[in-house]
Structure 1
Amino acid sequence: MIVWAIANQKGGVGKTTTTVSLGGMLAEKGKRVLLIDTDPHASLTYYFDIDGEDGSATLYDLFMHGKEVDKEQVTKVIQSTRFENLSVMPASMALATLDRKLGPQSGMGLLLRRVRKLLEDDFDFILIDVPPVLGVLMINALAAANRVIVPVQTEFLALKGLDRMMGTLDMVQDSKGLTHDITIVPTMYDRRTKASLEAYQELRRKHGKLVWNGMIPIDTKFRDASTAQTPISMYAKGSRGAFAYKGLLQVLLSQEVSA
């Protein structure tokens, strides 16, 4: 099983769009894909018309079961979507209370790693949409993943946020004894503006080979696909955005094969 965490400590950079787009394309390839929403805002959950506040089991319930969580409890939380091979583990607003409730408890940073092991035979890929806050949810996502995908908006302030995220990755890797493959993905690139070009060049200068040699463009089809609650590759296959994510996925898969 391959697990990717899509993370950045700055909001609004395209984490959910990246998770949904890559997940949808993997499902179209026949891969069994689970998307895990760890963000209390639950954007990924609502993307697939799932209501995490309707009383159904959510990721929050697994944290309440704690270190003894079992396969039956995990399976109960997973919801299928109307898209073949694509399932979702939904979030709820209650996740926002976890740091207060569970932060001091030993081992709670490894719950998603246990979930990963329990689902080893059920899915080929798990993609985790990570909240932009350093806490128990981000720690869990990073501890469960073998690759961290960092979407970064191509504008100056987003580059500053990336520095914070890279520092967090170093800290988590040191404290948990982890080694991640890291892929920085430039997003919301506007080729008409000098600011986007300069931000992209600065990304390449500072982070070198960690930066994907491409970019995700601004594309209104992303918004339309979200409104239709459909991954962009299924909603607008010929769009610039879908083409860009297809290129990114090809690179990621080739790196997984060679790893």
Structure 2
Amino acid sequence: MVVWAIANQKGGVGKTTTTVTLGGILAQQGNRVLLVDTDPQASLSYYFGVDAEELSHSVFDVFTAGDSLDKDKVLDSLCSTKLDSLFILPSSMALATLDRTMGTQPGMGLILKKAFAKIADEFDYVLIDCPPVLGVLMVNAVAACDKLLVPVQTEFLALKGLQRMMHTLEIMSKSQKRDFDYIIVPTLFDKRVNAATEAYRNLCETYKGKVWSGVIPVDTRFRDASQAQSPPSVFSPKARGVYAYKNLLTQLQTKVGHVS
């Protein structure tokens, strides 16, 4: 099972779009895919029409299970989607209380990693949509992942926000005594806008070797797919944004030897 976390400490950079689009493409390839919503705002859950506040189970139950966490508890918290092989572990507003109520408990940063180990034979890929703030939820996602995807909008303020994310990775690398494999994904790129082109150039120069060679363009089909509660690759398979994500996925799968 391959685990990817999609994270950035800035909102509006395309984290949920990246999670949904890659997840949809992977499922269409025949993989069993789990999307995990760790953002209390629950954008990923609502994307698929899942009202997190009406559910009896969510990812919050995984975090609060303690010693009773087992495979059944994780699987019982999942929701299905229109794609047979695509599932969601939905969010809950209660996640916003975790840092205050449980953030200092021993082992709190490794709960997701332990949960995924219990369902490793059930899924080929797990994609974690992270909240835009540093806390126990993002720490769990980064600690559990094999690779971190960092979507970055190609504009000046987003590049400033990326500095905070890189600083967080540096701190976590030291505390966990491991290097994290990550790739920066330029998003919302509009080649007609000089500021976007300049931001992309600065991004490549500053983080040489860590920036994906392509870009995710601005594409209104992403918004249309969201309104239809369908992965973009299903809703509009020939959209230029979907094509870009397919190229990104090809590179990611080549790195892990999972070309489908």
When the two structures are superposed, what TM-score results if normalisation uses the length of structure 2? Answer: 0.97
Separation of aligned partners in 1, 2:183 and 2:115: 24
Tell me if structure 2 keeps the 8 A contact 1:66–1:108: no
Aligned pairs for 1:101-112 (under 5 A) are: 101-112=101-112
Shift of 1:55: 3.5
Tell me which moved more, 175-184 or 211-220: 175-184
| Counterpart in the other structure of 2:154 | 154
| Counterpart in the other structure of 1:169 | 169
Shift of 1:116: 1.1
* Structure 1 gaps, min length 5: none
CA RMSD of aligned residues (A): 1.0
Q: Does 1:52 align with 2:52?
A: yes
| Counterpart in the other structure of 1:65 | 65
Tell me if structure 2 keeps the 8 A contact 1:146–1:179: no
Separation of aligned partners in 2, 1:177 and 1:216: 32
Separation of aligned partners in 1, 2:170 and 2:123: 28
* Structure 2 gaps, min length 5: none
Separation of aligned partners in 2, 1:65 and 1:256: 32
1:138-169 Cα distance to aligned partner (Å, 9 max, x none): 01001100100000000000000001101101
| Counterpart in the other structure of 1:74 | 74
Q: Give every structure 1 segment of 4 or more consecutive aligned residues whose post-TM-superposition deviation is greater than 3 Å.
A: none
Shift of 1:170: 1.2
**SS at structure 2 position matched to 1:184:** strand
| Counterpart in the other structure of 1:41 | 41
Shift of 1:69: 1.1
How many residue pairs get aligned? The number is 258
Shift of 1:179: 2.7
When the two structures are superposed, what TM-score results if normalisation uses the length of structure 1? Answer: 0.98
**SS at structure 2 position matched to 1:109:** helix
1:193-219 Cα distance to aligned partner (Å, 9 max, x none): 100000000010010111000100001
Separation of aligned partners in 1, 2:4 and 2:170: 17
